[in-house]
Amino acid sequence: MAMNVGSSDGDEDEVVSAINTTPLVDVMLVLLIIFLITIPVVTHTVKVNLPKDANQEAQTKPENITIAVNEAGQIFWGTDPVRDSQDLLHRLEAAAVKKPQPEVQIRGDAQSRYESVGKVVFACQQAGISKVGFITEPPPRG
């Protein structure tokens, strides 16, 4: 058995300044294989039929109740102002027992606070109204 101890003239070995990229390539290939295996599992979803978006014009019926909320937060039953939340709740409870139950349509001013409109929705929920809708202005065409 022979062993190489160094050169006979006593010079030190030269330092190799090149980077060995073989381990880097090995790690990248392993990561690529892992991603190729796991991506189909992650993207697997349950197939469902999603509803299609359709903008339908509101059908105004005489039995529908229109409640408006202006910019200041005042609530109106049709064109009559509502005194307070209890008055609104009593009116909605009286309407909730009618057969068929009327739909409540809320017209909220664009500048009104969400809290004011939320009070109307909450009163509808407390009274047992099953159909509540919001009347909005359609965007301009063109």
- Where is 33: in which H helix or E strand? helix 22-42
The single residue listed with the structure tokens 């189909």 is 40
| pTM for this predicted structure | 0.57
Give me the average pLDDT of each 10-residue run along the chain (142 residues).
Answer: 56 73 92 86 65 61 85 90 91 91 89 90 93 80 63
- Give the C-alpha separation, 105 to 133, whole Å: 5
- Give the C-alpha separation, 113 to 49, whole Å: 36
pLDDT at 122: 94
Q: Which two tokens stand for residue 66?
A: 């229109």
Amino acid letter, 109: D
pLDDT at 44: 61
Domains of the chain are: 65-134 (3.30.420.270)
Nearest to 59 by CA among 141, 140, 131, 113: 131
